[in-house]
Structure 1
Amino acid sequence: MAIMKKIKLENNVNAINKLIKHIENTTYEQLPQTTTDAVKTFVLDSMGVGISGSRVPSVQQVKAGLATWGTAKHAQVWNTGEWLPANAAAVMNGYQIHNQEWDCVHEPAVVHPMAVILSALMAYGQRENISGKQLILGVTIAVDVATLIGASATSGLKFFRPSVCGCLGATAGIAAMMSIRGDTLKNALGIAYSQLSGTMQAHVEGSPMLPIQIGLNASNAINAVDMAQAGFSGPKDILEGPFGYFNLFEDSYDLGYFNENIGQHFQIEKVSHKPFPTGRAGHGAIDGLLTLKNKHHFAIEDIEKVTISATPLINRLVGRPIKENMDVSYAKLCNGYIAATALITGNVTVQDFEPAVLNCKTRLDLGKKIITQLNDCQDVNALAPVCVEVQLYSGEHYKIALNAILGNPARPLSRTAQIEKFNVACMSAKKALTTQQINKLIFSIDELEQMQNINQLISLTINNH
């Protein structure tokens, strides 16, 4: 509590009013080219993983659960093309974006910014026939709101920050792209805040409820805007009030990052790619081990022990023990399985989490040799640095220290790697896209600011054959 009082006195700022001013005053014409390019980069990435997410068997259960939400045909499910009410389509597409842990992340905030945001904005936007420019502005503002709130937390995750911050961001993004201002904007944010949901219990248990929390909050954002436009009122002091976000959802906060960045640096430019379909906390192990193996050419049979020294957050998120009969959600968040897979196959792909592979004895045995332990980092929200060490039976010892993990803006994926990921994702979908369809999608996203109606973009995700 001392931190909160100190920051309030020093900055003399009401964070929600600053955000509202930012939402109301930022226009598409003000966005630098680097920002619009970053939006297109992560729209491409997020649509790719969302198309791929159609392959997950539990998608059918989610669709069945949404069948009672109404018969309106506002927006479509990516890849399979079913028409649903906008809020139901947002649930579905949000679930598909996050259900394989392959979507991008803003590391300072520990928020997957595009999962809730893109699914909500595109479902709402399809219903309202928005343009590409409107979508670009909406995504920019939405990511700012979600990540500036998330990055202000100085305590560890209790609630699922990607879903709760994502909902506030998505609400702001819809308002920005639809030019919603004044009391209606304030009410929409307050109504969204009143619906926030998602805790870390699903993560601890490796439950498939984790990505559903993304989808439900995408729906909540659309519902909030609709309610506010109907004239309904919501609470206003939703960040610093006695039961506002910072006092209820987090144990402590510091508005330093918020105040330094709002209106100065668009946060979409600080988002990290996830090259591999696992929790981001496992990427340091993959990155380090593949680098060492490619350099030193050791065989997996020669490995006595692998030690991954990592931050408190990494230990908390993926330090769980490898075990037999893991389900997919558990394995994606298990450093032992993730690292063993990388060592054995030279990569980690969505196919590595098929049920038939999860009990591979070679992977399980190697995974038991992999230890995740704490390093000296004291930041409870940090996803780096990571140190990876490999000890061989011969006595040889290899070590690499990583201050930034592959995909981070400090070590970005090349355009070639981005396109390769998109191709692989689209080809892994329930209804695999053809090369021609994939190339049309890439071209359309590259030219997003020229698009008059984003329904054109959604139609390119769908394979009717």
Structure 2
Amino acid sequence: MDAIIPFADHVVSRSYVDFSTEAITAAKTFLLDALGVGISGVHGQWGDELSETIPLWGSGNDSRVLGRGTRHPCAISALANAFQIHNSEFDCVHEGAVVHPMASIVGAVLAVIDREGGVSGQRLIEAIVLGADVSCGIGVASNSPLRFFRPGTAGGFGATAAVAKLLGFDKETLLNSFGTLYGQTCGTMQSHEEGSMLLALQIGFNTRNAVVSCDLAARGLVAPRNVLEGRFGFFNLFEGEYDIAPVISSLGHSWRIEEVSHKPFPTGRATQGAIEAAIRLKQKHSFDVENIQTVYTHVTPLTARLVGRPMVPGMAPNYARLCLQYSVARALLQGALEPGDFRTEVLDNQSVYKLAQRVNVIVEPNDDPNALGPSCVQLLMRDGQKLGMAIDDMPGSPSNPLTRDQHLNKFRKNLGLAPGAVSENAAERVIALVDNLEHVQDARALLDLLCPV
């Protein structure tokens, strides 16, 4: 029996009453986080270009796009929403799965909610929790280094599960949706390697495909069944070594949404342990950066592979967000790292570039091919002093979570990155709405507040 079958059983049979209080809280927390970063993505890299392009792909008034209010066919709005949520590398992540679950799930469900109407807050929570179980469960099962962009590939399965739950699919229709999604699954790591904006678009493509797959399955399309473990299934073709049995046995007993991590910094998650270490060093020792002779950042093999690239002149913002040298140098210089540090006009700062050349990436052995931590930053000062800081639990992780104030401050700051898109009053109403989501009768109220008229 292919593992997609117990996933389908799980999605179809579970409901709001089965979830832990922690899972419900996490679903609401990361929904709000995704809405905030999605609004910030309105003016993120390549946001306007995508907005100008998507009308070429068809006209329709099904669904709005976050922060823009433009209306498009549902699948196209899902693509745009997902892209905006991820295009600034500020959305949450499941570290063990190496998946950004909310970009694809929220991108898809917002578009479907807008098209369908009358979707309650409880049903939205169900879609988020169960979608995360699918995408993160698939990611956790892999024992192989990334070959394909898992936030896009596994993310598409999670988005499909979420949309199917919203639409009330039975098991057979959901299996046909999964099979159709698999036939469209895409996303290589080459975009990550080169720091291309196609990286976030790959999440968007798979999110669009999730909506398309559910719409086709709803009309009776019969698709392949052995999509995870078949001879040419996802694990054999896209991943490699895997162990799905523990994931399947955990379904209904634990909820992957509880394992998701906030991102306190607008960078690839793999950089964030070292960024936090650099900031803590700056706070603790108040050194002059001119006295730094050499910086050693000790990281896992996956971190080195994902973000060990050199800082180079003329970097694009998306390259810089995945550059450990740049992020650590910035953090050491100013004791913080903010979205504004990735504007094109500030990336060639010579003080940052000079310090970044002294940042060395040291790979430490780790048996887990998906491990992003621990991280350690060591400074060798010109006066002979040695300073160091290790981070075992990255900030924002379940073991080191953001406070509610930090979470809400991030949301409000993200809305401020898209001036005029959302009023201050609307922002506070969105917070209240999400806090009480289980009592909301029509979740389109979120879009009414977050999309300009």
TM-score, scaled relative to structure 2:
0.97
Deviation of 1:60 (Å): 2.0
Deviation of 1:257 (Å): 3.9
Deviation of 1:18 (Å): 1.3
- Tell me what 2:113 maps to: 125
Distance in 2 (alpha carbons) for counterparts of 1:381 and 1:413 = 23
Deviation of 1:430 (Å): 5.0
- Tell me what 1:16 maps to: 4
CA-to-aligned-CA distance 1:382-439 (integer Å, 9 cap, x gap): 0111111111111111112222111110100110100110111000115353321211
1:128-147 pair list within 5 angstroms: 128-129=116-117, 130-147=119-136
- Tell me what 2:203 maps to: 214
Deviates more, 1:350-359 or 1:433-442: 433-442
Distance in 2 (alpha carbons) for counterparts of 1:282 and 1:272 = 14
The answer to whether the 8 A contact 1:312-1:380 is kept is: yes
Q: 1:442 to 1:140 in 2, by over 3 A?
A: same
- Tell me what 2:401 maps to: 412
- Tell me what 1:41 maps to: 29
Distance in 1 (alpha carbons) for counterparts of 2:193 and 2:45 = 22
Deviation of 1:255 (Å): 2.1
CA-to-aligned-CA distance 1:284-323 (integer Å, 9 cap, x gap): 1111011111111112122111111110110001100111
Secondary structure of the 2:184 match is: coil
Distance in 2 (alpha carbons) for counterparts of 1:327 and 1:70 = 30
- Tell me what 1:9 maps to: none
Deviation of 1:342 (Å): 1.2
Q: Does 1:95 align with 2:73?
A: no
Pairwise CA RMSD: 1.2
CA-to-aligned-CA distance 1:98-122 (integer Å, 9 cap, x gap): 0000000001100001011110011
Amino acid at match of 1:268: I
- Tell me what 2:186 maps to: 197
Deviation of 1:63 (Å): 1.9
- Say which of 195, 213, 231 aligns to 1:224: 213
Distance in 2 (alpha carbons) for counterparts of 1:463 and 1:348 = 30
Secondary structure of the 2:422 match is: coil
CA-to-aligned-CA distance 1:201-256 (integer Å, 9 cap, x gap): 00001001000001111100000000001111110011111011111101211125
Unaligned ranges ≥5, structure 1: 1-12
Secondary structure of the 2:141 match is: coil
Amino acid at match of 1:204: E
Deviation of 1:355 (Å): 1.1
- Say which of 35, 41, 47 aligns to 1:53: 41
Deviation of 1:75 (Å): 1.1
- Tell me what 2:52 maps to: 64
- Tell me what 1:110 maps to: 98
Amino acid at match of 2:91: D
- Tell me what 2:341 maps to: 352
The answer to whether the 8 A contact 2:62-2:114 is kept is: yes
Distance in 2 (alpha carbons) for counterparts of 1:272 and 1:247 = 28
The answer to whether the 8 A contact 1:46-1:103 is kept is: yes
The answer to whether the 8 A contact 1:341-1:363 is kept is: yes
Q: Does 1:185 align with 2:162?
A: no
1:144-163 pair list within 5 angstroms: 144-163=133-152
Amino acid at match of 1:25: S
Deviation of 1:186 (Å): 1.0
The answer to whether the 8 A contact 2:297-2:362 is kept is: yes
The answer to whether the 8 A contact 1:79-1:431 is kept is: no
Distance in 2 (alpha carbons) for counterparts of 1:182 and 1:360 = 55
The answer to whether the 8 A contact 1:311-1:378 is kept is: no
1:151-300 pair list within 5 angstroms: 151-300=140-289
- Which structure 1 residue ranges, 4+ long, deviate > 4 Å from structure 2? none
Amino acid at match of 2:186: S
- Tell me what 2:71 maps to: 83
- Tell me what 2:383 maps to: 394
The count of aligned residue pairs is 452
Deviates more, 1:422-431 or 1:153-162: 422-431
Q: Does 1:444 align with 2:413?
A: no
Distance in 1 (alpha carbons) for counterparts of 2:187 and 2:201 = 9
The answer to whether the 8 A contact 1:277-1:349 is kept is: yes
Q: Identity over the aligned pairs, expressed in percent?
A: 39
Secondary structure of the 1:308 match is: strand
Deviation of 1:57 (Å): 5.0
- Say which of 313, 333, 354 aligns to 1:324: 313
Deviates more, 1:34-43 or 1:70-79: 70-79
Amino acid at match of 1:145: V
Q: 1:257 to 1:275 in 2, by over 3 A?
A: farther
Secondary structure of the 2:450 match is: coil
CA-to-aligned-CA distance 1:50-74 (integer Å, 9 cap, x gap): 0000012521221222112222111
Amino acid at match of 1:450: H
